[in-house]
Amino acid sequence: MGFLIAGGIGFIGSHTYISLRKRFPNARLVIVDNLTNSTIQTLNSLMEVTGDSILFHQLDLCDEQAVEHLFNRYHFHGILHFAGYKAVEESVVNPLKYYINNIQGTLNLVKQCLHYKIERFIFSSSATVYGNGKSPFKESDSLLPASSPYGQTKAICERILQDVAYANPWLRVSLLRYFNPIGAHESGLIGESPTSLPSNLMPYITKVAKGELPILKIFGGDYPTLDGTAVRDYIHVMDVAEGHVAALEHVRRGAHVYNLGTGRGTSVLQLVRAFEQVNGIKVPYQIVERRPGDLASVYANVHKAESGLQWKASRTIENMCRDAWNFEKRNILI
Ligand code: UFG
């Protein structure tokens, strides 16, 4: 059994490697990553956590020849595709970078998938494809235009995979729409390590807690929510990782969409308070203007994933806060 993990050094990919190894102790797992938003240190940590000597190739999925070469070399039974740019704001400033990278990379993988008749394909999508619809979001909701080029690339890749699966009935595709993955592996060795200034909430909180950034700016205190701050469906990254293993095991013919979330909303302030309480550390914050494009409340309906994948997120907000801080704290000592 062999699986390709494209983007396997990134946040979700690296955690999924750990879950895959646990579930398939004898499988050949090959990671490719171009290291644009990840560091090679994560590979060493992955080896430490799993005890594997990992098969890794630094490779850009847009380099079609290199991708062909990879598939010539290994025989895969499944592909898990995490590789893609993901900074929403950057995608607005530099849309072409996103359209070229995220779509071309996916196309090159899909071509090989068809060429070698690789039956299983798991794609990292995002709740952002729901656009500015209304929570709780259901897989059958119609997709409103995503608010960013990043979101559009996810919607376009979903469509490509749906069309290809329709034309090739032997193909089994899972399109996993993540809500807000946070936290870290419980070892504290693997976590979220953005290579530039974090734009997402949890990595920003941990940097402020660590003293690397002076203050957390909370974007918007006047949303129609319980405390005025925006609500999201935060999910532990290890639950997301286990969701991929479940998706690989339960993948059916055709292309099937699943939300990976908890189904519960947490406000920014609630998350900050939980972080402070669990870790016994202060996070100075200031409430500022809303961030353009943000929605008041985004959370998932998770019934389809629970029944179709026989998977359910089990970790709490407290687990997420503790593990995220454990990882960040460990980095202080390095
Ligand atoms: N926030 C702050 N301060 C910060 C960073 C974030 O207040 O410094 C707030 C945001 O305004 C938002 C919440 O925290 O209300 C969560 O923001 P994130 O940037 O962490 O996450 P988003 O919900 O904006 O976006 C995430 C992913 C996207 C994905 C989207 C899908 O980052 O890739 O969920 O809904 F598209």
Please, which residues have CB within 8 angstroms of residue 234's CB and are 6 or more apart in sequence?
179, 180, 181, 182, 202, 262, 266, 271, 317, 320
d(CA 297, CA 264): 11
d(CA 36, CA 24): 28
pLDDT recorded at residue 133: 87
**Structure tokens belonging to residue 216:** 């957390």
d(CA 72, CA 66): 10
**Structure tokens belonging to residue 318:** 């407290």
Residue owning the nearest CA to atom 16 of ligand 1:
201
Q: Is 292 helix (H, G, I), strand (E, B) or coil?
A: coil
- CA angle at residue 5 from 249 to 186, to 5 degrees? 80
Active site residue 150: yes
What angle, 0 to 180 degrees and rounded to 10, lies between the N-to-C axes of helices 149-167 and 104-115? Answer: 20
Q: Is 293 left (phi over 0), alpha (psi -120 to 50) or beta?
A: left
DSSP result, 26-67: T-EEEEEE--SSS-HHHHHHHHHHH----EEEE--TT-HHHH
* Predicted structure pTM score: 0.97
User: Quick check: bond before 136 cis, omega within 30?
Assistant: yes
Q: Is 225 helix (H, G, I), strand (E, B) or coil?
A: coil
- Taking only the tens of pLDDT, the chain with its 334 residues reads 999 999 999 999 999 999 999 999 999 999 999 999 889 999 999 999 999 999 999 999 999 999 999 999 999 999 999 999 998 889 999 999 999 999 999 999 999 999 999 999 999 999 999 988 899 999 999 887 667 999 999 999 999 999 999 999 999 999 999 999 999 999 999 999 777 788 899 999 999 999 999 999 999 999 999 999 999 999 999 999 999 999 999 999 999 999 999 999 999 999 999 999 999 999 999 999 999 889 999 999 999 999 999 999 999 999 999 999 999 988 754 3
Residue owning the nearest CA to atom 21 of ligand 1:
200
**Dmax of the chain from CA atoms?**
55
> Cα(12) to centroid of ligand 1, in Å?
16
> Cα(199) to centroid of ligand 1, in Å?
7
Q: Is 204 in the pocket of ligand 1 (CB under 6 A)?
A: yes
Length reported for the chain: 334
pLDDT recorded at residue 8: 98
Residue owning the nearest CA to atom 10 of ligand 1:
219
Q: Is 232 in the pocket of ligand 1 (CB under 6 A)?
A: yes
**Structure tokens belonging to residue 7:** 């983007």
Probe residue for ligand 1, chosen from 125, 218, 232, 321 as the CB with the greatest number of ligand atoms within 8 Å: 232
Looking at the chain, which residues constitute the CATH 3.40.50.720 domain(s)?
Answer: 2-184+234-262+299-314
Please, which residues have CB within 8 angstroms of residue 268's CB and are 6 or more apart in sequence?
201, 218, 219, 229, 230, 232
Q: Are 112 and 68 in contact (CB under 8 A)?
A: yes
pLDDT recorded at residue 117: 98
What CATH homologous superfamily does 201-231+265-298+323-333 map to? UDP-galactose 4-epimerase, domain 1 (3.90.25.10)
**Structure tokens belonging to residue 286:** 């200031």
Q: Is 76 in the pocket of ligand 1 (CB under 6 A)?
A: no
> Cα(33) to centroid of ligand 1, in Å?
24
Q: Are 125 and 157 in contact (CB under 8 A)?
A: yes
Looking at the chain, which residues constitute the CATH 3.90.25.10 domain(s)?
Answer: 201-231+265-298+323-333
- Out of 150, 178, 285, 299, pick the active-site residue: 150
CATH 3.40.50.720 fits 2-184+234-262+299-314, yes or no: yes
Query: Which residue, chain included where needed, has tokens 């990882």?
Result: 327
d(CA 66, CA 108): 10
d(CA 157, CA 175): 9
Q: Is 293 in the pocket of ligand 1 (CB under 6 A)?
A: no
pLDDT recorded at residue 332: 54
